[in-house]
Amino acid sequence: MNSPADRRQNPADHHQNPTDGYRDLAARYGTPLYVYDLDRVEESRRALAGSLPEGFEIFYALKANPHPDIARALREGAGPACRAEISSAGELASALSAGYNAGECLYTGPGKTPAELEHAIGEGVRMFSVESYTDLQHVGAAAIRHGVVAKCLLRINSAGTKAATTGIRMMGKPSQFGIDSETLPELMPQLLAVPGTRVVGAHFFTMSNAVDENGLVGEFEQTVAAAARLAEEVGLPLEFLDIGGGFSSPYAVPGERADYPKLAAELERILDLHLPRWRSGTPHLAVESGRYLVGSSGYLLASVVNIKDSRGSRFVILDSGINVLGGLSGLGRLLPAAVQLDGAEPDGVASLVGPLCTPGDSLGRDVRLPALEPGDVIVVPNVGAYGVSASLQGFLSRPVAVEAVVRGGQVVSATQLVPVRTEVPAVAVS
């Protein structure tokens, strides 16, 4: 059996400049252009698997990037195959087209509609993460209509302290996510009795993009301790435990994803303490990740359309804005975007803006940039996650970015997404 150190890949083992040759792709396909490197995807999967104890499964959160070629690369190839975590009929369609078995998918999210549940169960999905008693009832009603029983994880909104510094915290406060842990003693008998469902475990996801390994370990320790306590004190079934994620990777700036040299040993210590039967498979253990698995694989190529000086400030206007690299801009989070241009050194500071008719179309203010001219192509690194899938594609009806997938420097596919409506059956609700 390989040790975690043997299975971990050195992030410094990168070949030449990953943007070499991408300018040719921009000439071939135009801009805006996303390039996804499947070699980097598989490298990230090996790195994450090598940071975990043997026996953990990894769910790939398709919300990060639902491109079927990327999802397929995480299911196939060398190393442990990822399972799919999905939150919509569209993500389910992407997972199925990438070869995932619907019965192995985990369907999550706080707003599962009757039509979506009918569609998912009809396609073969059998495992759901539920956010409330009524969410569980909705899953059960759909399962009964199909004559099946749905396995359900209770997503827990734990009230523990914060162990990690993070950009987005999901638990420990009033939230649409998860069942408040303090309500479980009274609620558990009802949860276990919902027709059409079988509660098989728990799902935690406390935060996103933890900035340090010690903090991530602390979050996981609180999660495992909470799951063990709920199993003992309120009778929570614990056949399956998803402890969430939070694995860190840079977004839209140069840099490498985080390395976790101590995580496997620390998780083994935590599990031995709180769930000593884990080594024999009780409970079955999983983590989930989107950003860490695919973030470093993606690059956005954009063309400089114009350069404008206004009252002492310079604006570099691109053909790509928040319609192409939204970065969850609806949350009001300004991207710290950085660019690369043939290795040129920064020559000055400017605002990097897009072509949309709104002052909110900003990819970064006071960005250090090389000398640029109209027609130059810039590269934004580390946008394989939350690029196209987190952008305002419909605004102003601008062209959707082409997505080119490469492996070994060769183009595997090049497609331009045309938004389509995923048909799901209408459900009469009495």
Q: Is the pLDDT of residue 160 over 70?
A: no
Taking each helix axis from N to C end, the angle separating 89-97 and 68-75, rounded to the nearest 10 degrees, works out to 60
* The domain boundary residue, chosen from 268, 295, 322: 295
Q: Give the phi and the psi of residue 384 in degrees, each rounded to 5.
A: -75, -20
Return the CATH number at 287: 3.20.20.10
Q: Is the pLDDT of residue 420 over 50?
A: no
Q: Which of 118, 53, 108, 46 is nearest to 82 (CA)?
A: 46
Give me the pLDDT at residue 154, please. Answer: 98
Q: Which of 120-129, 227-236, 340-349 has the lowest mean pLDDT?
A: 340-349
Q: Is the pLDDT of residue 14 over 80?
A: no
Q: Which of 165, 248, 170 is nearest to 204 (CA)?
A: 170
Q: Is the pLDDT of residue 208 over 90?
A: no
pTM: 0.88
- The answer to whether residue 77 is domain-embedded is yes
330 DSSP β-pair partners: none
Give me the pLDDT at residue 417, please. Answer: 72
Residue 168, burial from CB neighbour count under 10 angstroms (0-12, 13-18, 19+): exposed
Q: Give the phi and the psi of residue 191 in degrees, each rounded to 5.
A: -65, -35
Give me the pLDDT at residue 346, please. Answer: 77
| Residues 282 and 368 occupy one common structural domain | no
Q: Is the pLDDT of residue 71 over 70?
A: yes
Q: Is the pLDDT of residue 26 over 50?
A: yes
- The answer to whether residue 17 is domain-embedded is no
* The domain boundary residue, chosen from 273, 295, 317: 295
Give me the pLDDT at residue 328, please. Answer: 54
Calculate ∠ Cα 177-180-183, nearest 5°. 150
Q: Which domain holds residue 386?
A: 296-416
Q: Each residue of 161-203: pLDDT tens digit?
A: 555 444 444 454 556 768 998 999 999 999 999 999 999 999 9
* The domain boundary residue, chosen from 295, 314, 343: 295
Q: Band of the pLDDT at 390, cuts 50, 70, 90?
A: confident
| Residues 308 and 278 occupy one common structural domain | no
Residue 254, burial from CB neighbour count under 10 angstroms (0-12, 13-18, 19+): exposed
- Average pLDDT of every residue of the chain: 86
Q: Which of 1-10, 86-95, 323-332 has the highest mean pLDDT?
A: 86-95
Q: Each residue of 324-378: pLDDT tens digit?
A: 998 654 444 444 455 555 556 778 899 889 999 988 888 888 888 888 999 999 8
Q: Which of 27-31, 94-98, 198-202 has the lowest mean pLDDT?
A: 27-31
| Residues 135 and 184 occupy one common structural domain | yes
- The answer to whether residue 331 is domain-embedded is yes
Q: Which of 293-307, 349-363, 386-400 has the lowest mean pLDDT?
A: 386-400
